[in-house]
Structure formats: structure tokens, C-alpha cells
Amino acid sequence: MKRKICVVITARPSYSRIKTALTAINNHPELELQLVVAASALLDRYGNAVNNIEKDGFTITAKVFNVLEGENLTAAAKTTGIGILELSTVFNNLNPDIVVTVADRFETMATAISASYMNIPLAHIQGGEVTGNIDEKVRHAITKLADYHFVASKDAHQRVIKLGENPEFVFNTGCPSIDLAYEIQQTPVLDFDPIKKYGGVGGRPDLSQGYWVVMQHPVTTEVGDSRFHIEETLHAMHEINQPVFWFWPNVDAGADGTSTGIRSFRETHQLDNFHFFKNMEPQDFLKLLYSSKGLIGNSSVGIRECAFMGVPVVNIGSRQNSRERGNNVKDVGYSRIEILNSLKEIENSPKPKISTIYGNGDAGEKIAQLLSEIPLVFHKTITF
Amino acid sequence: MKRKICVVITARPSYSRIKTALTAINNHPELELQLVVAASALLDRYGNAVNNIEKDGFTITAKVFNVLEGENLTAAAKTTGIGILELSTVFNNLNPDIVVTVADRFETMATAISASYMNIPLAHIQGGEVTGNIDEKVRHAITKLADYHFVASKDAHQRVIKLGENPEFVFNTGCPSIDLAYEIQQTPVLDFDPIKKYGGVGGRPDLSQGYWVVMQHPVTTEVGDSRFHIEETLHAMHEINQPVFWFWPNVDAGADGTSTGIRSFRETHQLDNFHFFKNMEPQDFLKLLYSSKGLIGNSSVGIRECAFMGVPVVNIGSRQNSRERGNNVKDVGYSRIEILNSLKEIENSPKPKISTIYGNGDAGEKIAQLLSEIPLVFHKTITF
Amino acid sequence: MKRKICVVITARPSYSRIKTALTAINNHPELELQLVVAASALLDRYGNAVNNIEKDGFTITAKVFNVLEGENLTAAAKTTGIGILELSTVFNNLNPDIVVTVADRFETMATAISASYMNIPLAHIQGGEVTGNIDEKVRHAITKLADYHFVASKDAHQRVIKLGENPEFVFNTGCPSIDLAYEIQQTPVLDFDPIKKYGGVGGRPDLSQGYWVVMQHPVTTEVGDSRFHIEETLHAMHEINQPVFWFWPNVDAGADGTSTGIRSFRETHQLDNFHFFKNMEPQDFLKLLYSSKGLIGNSSVGIRECAFMGVPVVNIGSRQNSRERGNNVKDVGYSRIEILNSLKEIENSPKPKISTIYGNGDAGEKIAQLLSEIPLVFHKTITF
Amino acid sequence: MKRKICVVITARPSYSRIKTALTAINNHPELELQLVVAASALLDRYGNAVNNIEKDGFTITAKVFNVLEGENLTAAAKTTGIGILELSTVFNNLNPDIVVTVADRFETMATAISASYMNIPLAHIQGGEVTGNIDEKVRHAITKLADYHFVASKDAHQRVIKLGENPEFVFNTGCPSIDLAYEIQQTPVLDFDPIKKYGGVGGRPDLSQGYWVVMQHPVTTEVGDSRFHIEETLHAMHEINQPVFWFWPNVDAGADGTSTGIRSFRETHQLDNFHFFKNMEPQDFLKLLYSSKGLIGNSSVGIRECAFMGVPVVNIGSRQNSRERGNNVKDVGYSRIEILNSLKEIENSPKPKISTIYGNGDAGEKIAQLLSEIPLVFHKTITF
């Protein structure tokens, strides 16, 4: 009998971070994939990851609507509560052998609690990293609930073990998102017209001299500041006056500040060089990054995939705080001047070297193989 | 302006474990107590702790009904989800400066998630201990969500720091439950008739030759076994044929196995020496223990208060697994023979020495003072 | 393609009231039964109807745990809220052509709201009756949400039409519970030993001179009174000093008053003539009634099945208020004297005549046939 | 002691429909207002009614976030379920003497269920009307749950009584929204610049030759059609080529179709004559209507306030189906041609006469007075 592996995807970025593992599970002769799509991954205004998932040929076993409107911190907590109510029923029906939860967004806690409370062995992808903000609390709390840890770097591997987890069940598989970057690496051509393929709104800048990509999310511990933060970045990108592809933020408490900031800036400034996208298929996004002058914002893609692809990154503020970096990253504060200076510095520097700190491109395969072999356990004791 | 300290009590045993801290908060000139009573602490069949709380003169700020019936693992998860929904609203209305959560029962996770997701500084009482079972996962996960840690022993103090918490915010206050034991210690007389005062059902045994106390909870990771476990203990106590005061178990997945086991045993055996209680006020329970021949079961009271009071304990099974013990504890498996042998050994040994591993009797005062002084923070980064 | 008929059963009594319809749906060549068991029908302390359902050979499509503990009015409301959350997901997955909801217990509203809000045609069994109390509000509100009405009497038929429903979709099928009574009618022998088969607790009375059956539920609009009410009945039955089979109440706000009243009376009175049951399979229960001297309490079985079987009934209080009655029913208040007098009157009267006001015994067949034929609609306008 | 009147507002239009009653309750010496704001009334993208409420000087007693994202029918059901969970807690804390629910949006059912299940007397504003679609089911179901009925027309008054309600508790107060129209009637000048005051997006049309107002909501029973419907209206308004103030739709299942239709039309057409608003304070909205050439869409404002103010209305489709109309209303289907023809007809006709079918302008006062006098009851029996 095949092991039933239930993977819960709750947001667009989590999908790219797990995609190659999903494929590998699907292809593995001893595994059966149960794919649950939930939360903002189902919602139009956050990029409707579910469409990409279906287009990529995955069968969705269950959909869970649990995002409570409000985009404040109370709603984030309640979204997690509803997630537990719903996922418990789903797990009860699907009866999986292992549940897999990805990364550290607030609502992933619902997956972790439902599985661990129901005595279902829980695997956590991408524990052990350090970032600051609420993600930091969520990530390590999930580590303490999880039975297996598939981490993305040596550093993370050590940290999870230091957290008292049994080293036997902590595996440095690398990050599955690097698997995608590895594929791009093979044929790194921007072989599509982003605006034609993805629509979006804004100008149609001339790309012949290169372009920048911006992806900046609100930071949950600084809710009130999210509008100010985004405006500084908008000013910086406006001032450098070069083509920009700008991506809308995730559904997080504070997204309204970010979104409002962007909308209002668009009304009051001439932004012919800006084009705004809601989302993009992961591979296309990586191709877009690969051919860009650099990524600006606070997405973990800058830390991870961009390191492997050698794409320069201006990393703004505290969101990726202490995550391990390659030498492609320049850390700056929120001010437009700092951002602008970094952009200029990038223009005057050679392309950064490639780094494999987050994996070699075979993480998905490794994870599937481990899921087929590891003993099924849901009982653990701290090692110290 | 006084700091608003919101303490959430979700079960009868948590109340005794925090009671002296509640009093100290109430009496502290710079603190205002917001007392939330939730989950099984409100329910008749789990001892209705809320009655004791009101009788003790505390004002209850809000009541939260969130226990989903079913007494299976799915219901435990859902109870936690409903708890998050409800407590988020409560916290949003009360707007506390600090939220306090007690110990490690599954539903305390709801308090921890609501507070930490809403950026309210979270204090955790009794982190850092080791027990095994789901409590183990819950306890350490809450440590990773909490901002302040009021632990009960040196061992726990070290463990929380090892978990990557900032040592500045980890305090070995001792356990407030020891404060109660300390009071009993001063006048350790059984100055009430337990049956007269608390009713209950069963025989009215002759106490002149001494009596035993039993409190055995189901162990959540071994749900199916709970009926077998309780029957072994019933047989042992039946065989030794001495007076027994028996306490009903908590509301946990598996309680039905335990309860059914007890009920069925009562129907088929002559139990004149047994008297069954639903619950008892904390001080009375400690007095009862103090004057007893010993405590049998798997309650943490055996590890903690009994250590301080020098009461012999037969600790059954894995529930208190690796918690630090005084020399008053004999650890046994679930079999009636092992239990019986330990009872006999206790009868032939001198009373154990008093141990202060879980505090000196001033934990409540220490906690209140710390809550009035510690800087308000809700942002943290792992120390390694 | 078969029509998918999703029937939601939320309580023990609803099961007997729909059972023959379930069988007929299962046997119908053009129908597929989707059976959802929810709320107290899943819970041990309310008779675990789910066990009977499975023993009767029905396949359960989904189980929904939604009873919030508390047994107060707030918990009843919240149970309904959780029911909506859960059933919406269930309906979304099962995608039924018609949803069937039974009778008027508070939590059946969850079925009605989920189905009607999701544009799924909704059939209501047993609308149009009059009883008083919250059931009254619930029943008629469900009528206004439902698209088809399968009512149990002429009186109910007229009332639903008066409520503005399209007469085309109001059908007097009779009550499926009468179908069971019809079967009993054929071979009305008490062919089992109730105590041997169903256990229960209490004395083992001598049945040779006949026995009474009691089933009395708390009345939700008089919560505080439920303990007093049950005590009056207990006194009456104690005084007449004849064998009694007593059934525990439903999970309703107030059940605790009823249960506590019973438990406490048992501790203080000698009740050798009383035997207490949690529940019984519907057919066995009807056989037990058929051979009894009469039914005491406020169950609708007294009004309905007992009319068809000619069993005398002492109907207590307001719960069955204005439901149509056969001449087998004596209505009394809550006082022990009134109850006692009615018992004596019954003993001195001939057996009542059989009445078919609630059907002829073919309701299940009629309902299944209608479900296979009626046009699928979920849009309606009031007729006046 | 003052009677505590708890009014629950769940959407922007409900606020204007109850506003003068809120003022009258606030001013009444024997009443205390408990104002609960919930659901889309709290959300930015549906006009944030809560801001208007606060600006108007009302104190908000509790806020309830319960809108589940998804904008499909399942989410509408779940939003109602969450509403029940939350409102039950709110009512339990506020302990009101009477709860007031307004009109017939799907989520108002949550107010009705929580109040009636908790035995709190429930008043319903605007029952008894006829419209078709899910509102129709919701409205009459709430009538069957409510204890008092404050209806807006003679027709509605008769219908509620026909539904079996006690005539003693059915009151034709008129609609409080007419109270606002009455005030406008006194000084009907457009004394503000709508674009300056409310922002919005789109062109700045020249108003000197008059303008139209459009407000068209999706119809829940025709979800799939909502995009097509809105496009027809867009084409009609585009073709007539006169100034238009266009208001975004409510949060209903299907709003996405409507919103997407509007957004996409804007991208592909030159709409210099269109200006889009999210919302407007009720009085300003009425002033805008008063001075307009007419209202196009399916808002009940067209049926109600516009009748009293003599504003021409092109009423599209089934949403206001059988509501009583003044002679200001032209009913049309969804096609652009029908709409266009009606616009031209209006231009060539004199202003319609004023109608008082929905009240005289003193509804708020009447409601407050009744709330202070009616006996407190929560128990009722159908009258037939």
C-alpha cells in the first residue's frame, strides 16, 4: 500500500517552494499525493495560485476557504482558527500517513496544529531559518510541533538540531525552489512577453536597456508603517526612471497599507516605466528575474533563488533579517536614498557569483524519497 | 496607568497552578487583572473550576465556551480552532498589555496563537519541562511563541534558554502551585470531611487507618489504551483493599475510555472502599494529599506539590515522563502488579524528605512583580 | 445519472423519523443516498445514533462533529454556527442535487442555511406542525428556507401552504416514523429482553404486571425549570410504584438540569422499579412502547407513533403544545399529582383506538418517489 | 433601568436604512443603544460603513469580523456560521433586552439565529417585502424567528400577518431610510462636489447638463451571469454618453463577476464621462440622487427613497422583483437596449410624483418609541 502524503499549500509563494517535491511525490511508486489548497492560494486577489497548480497538472484533493477578511492582526489569528476547524475535518476524511507543511506563513500553523493534535506524523519544509517578525515565532513553533524537518541549508540544519530535535529526523535537502532555479539555469532565456502573457496594469516600458523587479511585502510587526515603507520604495524606483515590473503583496495583516500606498502613488505620479502584476507562474517569474538587472524588496526569492541564479538583490528592511545570504544581496533600510544608492551600485558592479547555500537542485527528489522511507512517528521528546 | 494583565485559564488544574499569581496580580498597585475562563474550566463534567474561581473572590472578565464534544483527537484540534476564534475577539476588546498562558494542555495553544498573532506580549508559565506525549510538543511550541518565560525549576530554566530564548526574559520563579503547598505546610490538618463537603459517589470508607488518593488521566498518544490503563489501576487499588479517594479525569481525547473503564468496573465490583470525586478546591485537595498515604496516577501534582510536601507518589506510565522528580516518586508501568508492589513499598518506608526543586512558595509574588517591570516586547529573534 | 440525495441526521430521534425514507432512497433505482451524520447523533452521551445507523446497514458518507459543550443557550447557537461551517464544506464536496433536513431541532437550521445559501434545493421533512418553544420558530423558519415540504398530516399540509409556500411543492406523505409503527403493528411482540440487550443502569423490575415508559426532554424556553420538571415526574413514577423504563434526554440547552435531577433522585430514593436506558434501536423502542401500559413525558413519539399503535400517553407540559393528537393522549401540566392521576385514569380505561392522522405506513416510499420526480428548484417567491 | 437595545449592522446599505432609528434610540430617555458593527460594514473594499457610523457620532459597542473571503456561495454560508459564533459571544456579554436586525442580506440571519436561540426578543426591520432570490428566503425565515416586526409599507404589514405572526407585534412604521429622504426633501441642494469629497476614480465629467447614477449589485441566484449583466449596463451608459456616477457593488457571492466586468470595461473603453465611487455618506448619496436625472441598477434605494423623492429609476432585472413601487420606477431586463430606451424615455418625461408608500419620514422615532414600550417576549406560536 502506498503512503498517503498530504501536502497543504496556503499561499502562492509556498507553491513555488514545494512544486518539484509535489512532482517527485506524484512520480514516486510508493507514494500517493493528497494535495490540499487553502487560504490565499485560492483567492483571486492574491494571485489565485490554485490556477497555476491545476494548469501544472496536479489533482487537488480538497479546497479549504479560511481567509477571514479584515487584513488586520485579529483576522490573521481568526484565519488560523478557521483553518484548524476545516483542516481537521479534511485530515479526518483523508487519513494521511504524513502531513507536509511549508515554511512559516501565519496560517501554516493551522496545518501543523491539526496534524500534530490528530497524531498524524508532520513534516516541515524550511524550518530552522532566521528572519525576525511573526514568521520567526511561527517557524520555530512549527519546528517544535513537527516530526520531520526538511531544511534548506547547513545553517538551518544545525539550528533545528539545536532546538532539541532528534538529528535522525532533520534532513538538509536543500530548498525545492532551487530545483526550479536549476531548470532555469539550463536555458535562461526570457522566452515570453510578460505583459502579453500576464496582463497586469500600467505602462509598457521599453526593456531594451534592462529592467528591475520589485516585490515588497508588508512586515507584520510594523503594520502601521507598511504604507510609508512602500512609498519610499516607490519613490526610489520612480527616481531611477528605468523599467520596473512590480508585484502586488501577499495577503498579510498590513497588505492594505501596502496596496493603498501603491494605488495612491499611481494616481499622483506619472508611472510610464512601471508595470504591475498580480502574479506569475514560478518558472516565468524566475526567468524574468534571471534576465533582470536585479530584484528590489523583501521577498525570500531574493535570498534563495537569486543566490543560485546570481541575480543582484536590494533587500529592504527586517523581513529577511538573519537569513543566510549569498554575496548577491545588499541589505538596506526603508529609505529611498539607501535604495537608490544600492541600485546605482548594482549597475556599476559585475554580476554576482552563483551560490549553492540553499541547495543543488535536487531537493524535491530527496524529499519524496525521504517521505517514502522515514519511519512513521508522532511522538517525540526534546533531546536536552 | 496600570498594566492590563490578561490571564486565560482553560482547565481545573491550571487554576491551582496559577492561583497565587492571580492574587498577587490583583494586589499589585501597578497591575490590573483581566481574567478569562475558558474551555473545560467552565464545564460541569470537568469540575467546573469557574465555581472555585468565583468562590475565591476573583472577578471573571470574560467566559469562552470552546470545547467541541467528541472526546476524540479531531475534537481536540477543533476546540483549539474555536478557542482562537473566540480569544481573538476577547483580546481585541480587552486590549491587554500582556497575555499569560499556563502550562501545556492542548487548548492553551489557542491563547498563545491569538496573543502572538495579535502582537500582544505573551508570558508562558511552566515552560521548559519534559514529559513526552502531545503536551511535549505543545509546551515547547508555546515557548517559541512566548516572549516571557516564568519557569518552575532550574532544569526548565536551562532548557528554555537552550531552546534559543533570550535569557533576559527567562525567569525561574518556581511554580505557583508550590505557594499553595507552602500554605498547607504551615497548618497541615485535614480540617474538613471530604465526602460531606464535596459529595461525590461511592462508599464511605473508614479513614482511621489512612487512605490513598488516585488521579489518573488518559495519555493522548495512547488513546486506545486508556481503558486498559485505568482498569489495571482499578484492580491494584481494589486488591490492596484500603480506602481510596478517586478523582475523575480531565477533558482530553481519551477521557471516555478512562471514564467508561471506571464506570464499568464500578458496576462489576464491590467498591465499598472507593469514593469518587469530580473535583476539589485546590487547597482542600492538597490537604487531602498531605494527610494521605500517597498519590497514585499520573498527575503532575505528584511530581510538584507532593515533592514539596513530602507525599509518596506512584507515578504511572509515560505522562510525566522526564519531568524532574524529588525522591518521593516511584515510577511504574501500567500493570497492576507493579502498582501494587509500589503501594506496599511505600507502606514499609519512612515519609520522603521535602524537596524545593519546584520553588519555595513565593512564585505568585515573583510573577506579579516581573509582569509589572518587564519591558513590553513582542518581537524576538532566536539566539543561535 | 442518479439524483444525489443528501440527508443530514443530527439527533437520535430524527433517525427513527427518517429511517424508512433512507431505505427507500437506497432502494430507488434513480436515487443515490449521501448520508451525513452530525451533532448529537455522533455522541455517546446522547445515545450514539450513529451505531444504530451503521448496524442497520447504511453507509455514512460524512460525519460532522459540531456540538459545543456548555448545554446552555449560547452553546446551542454556537453549535449551529459550527454546523454551518462544517456542512458547507461537506455540501461543497458532495455536490448533492437535493439536501433533506428533518424536523425542527435547533441544529437542523445549520443544514437548512448551508443548503439554501449554496443554491441547493432543500427538502424539509415534518414542517407545518405547531408545538410552541424554540422548535416552533426553527420549524417555520426552515419552511421559509425550504423548496419542498414533506409533511406528516393534513393539518400541517394546510399550514405550510398558508405560510405562502407553493402548493405544488407541499406533499402530505405522512410521517416515516409511522412506517416503523406499521411494521411493529404486524408482529407486535416484545421479542427481546430490554435490559439484557441494552444494558443501562438501575433495578430489574418484574414486568409480569406491565410497565411504563418515560421519556421527558428539557424545554428550551424554560431552561431554569428543567430540574424541577423532571423531579415532579420522578416523584409521580416513584409513587405509583410500578416498573418503569426511563430514557435519558436529548442534548439540549437544559439537559444538565434534567440529567442532574435524575442522578440526584437516584442517590436519594430507592428505585428498584426503575431501569434507565440511554437509547434503543427505533424498532425495539416501538415494540417496548407497544407492549407497555403507556408513555409518560413530552416526546413526539407519544403524539405520533403511539397514536398509530394505540398506546396511551401522558403528555407533560408545553413541548408538544399544539401538535395534532389522537385520542390516546392526555395532556397534563408538570405537577406530580396531575401525572399520577392520568396514570390511574389510563389503568382504568380501555386501550385507545388507532389513528392514522400521521400517516398510513408508506411515507418513506412516497418521499423517495417524490425526490426522484420533483423538478430541481431553489428559487421561490412567496405566494401572497 | 433603561432597556438595552442591541442593533447589529452588517452592511453599508443597512446603515442608511436604520440610521434615524439609531439616533432616536440614542435620544430616547428609556433606551440604551448597543451598536454592533459587523461583516462588510467593517471592510474597506465595501465602503467601510463603520467610518460613516463613527463620523456620525455613534459609539460602537462591538465590532465583529466575520466575512470569509471567496465571494462564492460557500463563503456566504460560512460567513453566516462565523457570524453566529461571534454574535453569540457578543450577546452573551452585552445581555441586551432586545436585538434588532435589519432587512434581509444573507448574513443578517446570523443575528436572528443568535438572538432567537438565546431567548433574546428579536425585532426585525423591513420584513414582509417581496423580491425573489435568496433575500426572499432569508427575509421570511427571519420573520419566523423574530418577535417584533417593524415593516415599511401596508403591503408588507399584511404579508407578515399572513405569515402567521401575531398582529399585535407587527407595526407599519415606514422605512427609516425615508426619514433621511424627508430631510433631503427640505433642502434638496447638491451642496458638495462629489469627486472632491469622495475621491474615487475615473473621469471628471461636466455636470452642467445633468448626470445619471448607477448602482447595480450581483444577483445571488444568477452568479454566473453577473459579469454579463454588468457589461450590458456599462454598454448602455457608455452609449448614451452622458455623465455617470457609478457605485461599486456590495460584498455578495458574485461581486467578483461584477467588479471584474467593470474593471475590464474600463481598460478597453474610453470612459471620460464615468466616475466610480466606493461609497458615500447616506445623506450625500440621497442629495446626489435628488439632483440626478435618474438612478439605474437594482438597488432598493430606487424603489424606496427615490419614490419619496420623485427620482426616476431604471430598475434592472429580478433583484427588486415584486417589491411595491411608486410610479417613478421603470422595470427592464438586463439588455443594453432596454436600458437605453428607458433612459431616453425618462429624458422625455416630467419628474415623477412623490409617493409615501414607504413612509412619511418619522419611522426612526416610531421604532424607538415602540422598542421602549413593547412587552419583552421571545416565545410565540403561529396564529393558524
Q: Which residue has the cell 516581573?
A: B370
Residue A64, chain C, CB below 8 Å: the answer is yes
Q: Rounded to an integer, what distance in angstroms lies between the CA atom of residue C143 and that of residue C108?
A: 12
CA nearest to B380, candidates A218, A322, A335: A322
| Nearest to D200, CA basis, from D248, D161, D168, D243 | D248
Q: How far is B375 from chain A (nearest CA, A)?
A: 17
Residue D250 lies in a domain: yes
Q: What is the per-residue pLDDT across D302-323, written as a single tens digit (0 to 9) for each?
A: 999 999 999 999 999 988 877 8
> What are the pLDDT tens digits along chain C (384 aa)?
899 999 999 998 899 889 999 999 999 999 999 999 999 999 987 878 999 999 999 999 999 999 998 868 999 999 999 999 999 999 998 999 999 999 999 999 999 999 999 999 999 999 999 876 668 899 999 999 999 999 999 999 999 999 999 999 999 999 999 999 999 988 888 999 999 999 988 999 999 899 999 999 887 666 678 889 999 999 999 999 999 999 988 665 556 788 888 888 988 898 899 999 988 888 899 999 999 999 999 998 999 999 999 999 999 998 887 788 999 999 999 999 999 999 999 999 999 999 999 999 999 999 999 999 999 999 888 999
Q: Per the domain annotation, does D384 fall within a domain?
A: no
Instruction: Summarize pLDDT for A201-250 with one digit per residue, the tens.
Output: 899 999 989 999 999 988 766 667 888 999 999 999 999 999 999 998 86
Are the C-beta atoms of residues C105 and C135 closer than 8 Å to each other?
A: yes
Same domain (yes/no): D78, D95: yes
Predicted pLDDT of residue B220: 65
Residue holding cell 495560485? A49
Say whether B66 and C68 touch across the interface (CB within 8 A): yes
Q: Is residue B354 part of a domain?
A: no
Whether B139 shows a pLDDT value over 90: the answer reads yes
**Burial (CB count <10 Å: 0-12, 13-18, 19+), residue C364:** buried
Q: Are residues D230 and D152 in the same domain?
A: no
Residues A93 and A222 in one domain: no
The answer as to whether B253 is a domain residue is yes
Q: Distance between CA C108 and CA B8 in Å, rounded?
A: 33
> At D367, which CATH number?
3.40.50.2000
A282 falls in which pLDDT band (50, 70, 90)? confident
Among residues B5, B49, B1, the alpha carbon closest in space to that of B364 is found at: B5
Judge: A77–B113 Cβ closer than 8 Å, yes or no. Answer: yes
Q: Is the CB of C43 inside 8 Å of chain D's CB atoms?
A: no
Asked if residue D383 belongs to a domain, the reply is: no
Q: Is residue B272 part of a domain?
A: yes
Cell numbers at C337, concatenated: 399529582
The pLDDT score that the predictor gives to residue C320 is 82
From first CA to last CA, the distance across chain A in angstroms is 37
pLDDT tens digit sequence for B4-23: 999 999 998 899 889 999 99
Q: Search chain D and give the residue with CA nearest B93.
A: D62
Indicate the pairing of strand C274-277 with strand C201-202: antiparallel
Among chain B residues, the shortest Cα distance to C82 is held by B82
Note whether C376 contacts A: Cβ–Cβ < 8 A: no
Do the Cβ atoms of B93 and D62 come within 8 Å?
yes
What are the tens digits of pLDDT across the range D103-161?
Answer: 999 999 999 999 999 999 999 999 999 876 668 899 999 999 999 999 999 999 999 99
Same domain (yes/no): A127, A154: yes
Q: How far is D266 from chain B (nearest CA, A)?
A: 39
Residues 215-234 of D with CB under 8 A from C: 220-221, 223
Alpha-carbon distances, residue A314 vs A128, A261, A276, A339, B220 (angstroms): 23, 20, 19, 7, 48
Do A144 and A108 have their domain in common? yes
Q: Give me the pLDDT at residue D226, please.
A: 86
Distance CA D278, CA B266 (A): 68
> A333-351: b or e for each residue (b if 16 or more CB lie within 10 Å)?
ebebebbbebbeebeeeee
Residues A221 and A339 in one domain: yes
- The answer to whether the CB atoms of B65 and C69 lie below 8 A apart is yes
Is residue C166 within 8 Å of residue C144, measured between CB atoms?
A: no
Taking the Cβ of residue C38 and every Cβ of chain A, the question of whether any pair is shorter than 8 Å is answered with: no
Number of domains in chain A: 2
Residue in C74, C119, C382 nearest the CB of D136 = C382
Pairing of strands D98-102, B212-215: unpaired
Query: Which of B74, B80, B109 has the CB atom closest to A92's CB atom?
Result: B74
The nearest CA of chain A is from the CA of D67 a distance in Å of 5
For D241-264, write each residue's pLDDT tens digit.
999 999 988 665 556 788 888 888
Give me the mean pLDDT over the B180-199 stretch.
90
Q: What is the distance between the alpha carbons of residues B249 and B229, in angstroms, rounded to a whole number? A: 13
Give yes or no for residue A120 having a pLDDT over 60.
yes
pLDDT digits (tens, 9 = 90+) for A125-173: 999 998 766 688 999 999 999 999 999 999 999 999 999 999 999 999 9
Q: Are residues D225 and D294 in the same domain?
A: yes
- Which residues of chain D are within 8 Å of residue B82 when distances are taken between CB atoms? 85
Interface residue A42 vs chain D (CB under 8 A): yes
| DSSP bridge pairs for A32 | A4
DSSP string over B144-211: HH-SEEEESSHHHHHHHHHTT--GGGEEE---HHHHHHHHHHHS----S-HHHHH--EE-----TT--
For cell 497543504, what's the residue?
A: A8
Residues B23 and B160 in one domain: yes
Query: With 80 as the cut, is the pLDDT of residue D359 above it?
Result: yes
Residues of B in contact with A138 (CB under 8 A): 145
User: Would you state the cell numbers that stand for residue C80, as one nine-digit string?
Assistant: 449551529
Considering the domain architecture, whether residues B86 and B118 belong to the same structural domain is answered as yes
- pLDDT score of D72: 85
What residues contact D190, with CB distance under 8 A and at least 6 apart?
A: D287, D288, D290, D291
**Long-range own/partner contacts, residues C344-348 (CB < 8 A, 24 or more apart):** C344/C240, C346/C293, C346/C294, C346/C312, C346/C314, C347/C293
Same structural domain, A327 and A262:
yes
Residue for grid cell 443575528 = D111
CA quadruple A169, A170, A172, A176: dihedral positive or negative? positive
A62 → chain C, closest CA residue: C93
In a domain, A113, yes or no: yes
The C-alpha cell 428566503 sits at D137
Q: How confident is the model at residue B292 (pLDDT cuts 50, 70, 90)?
A: very high
Do residues A220 and A289 lie in contact, with contact meaning Cβ atoms separated by under 8 Å?
no
Q: Is B384 on the interface with A (CB under 8 A)?
A: yes
pLDDT of residue C251: 61
Report chain C residues whose CB lies below 8 A from the CB of A95. Answer: none
Residue of A nearest to B136 (CA): A381
Residues B162 and B191 in one domain: no
pLDDT at D280: 87
User: What contacts C155, CB < 8 A, 6 or more positions away?
Assistant: C128, C129, C324, C357
What is the CB neighbour count within 10 angstroms for residue C283?
Answer: 17
Chain C residues in contact with B75 (beta carbon < 8 A): 65
Is C85 within 8 Å of chain A by CB?
Answer: yes
Domain that holds residue B306: 183-347
Longest dimension (CA), chain B: 62
| D147 and D238 part of one domain | no
**pLDDT at position B278, please?**
86
Please give, rounded to a whole number of angstroms, the shortest distance from the CA of D350 to a CA of chain C: 33
* Structural domain contains residue C128: yes
Sheet containing C98-102: order of strands? C62-64, C31-38, C3-9, C98-102, C122-125, C148-151, C170-172
8 Å CB contact between C167 and C145? no
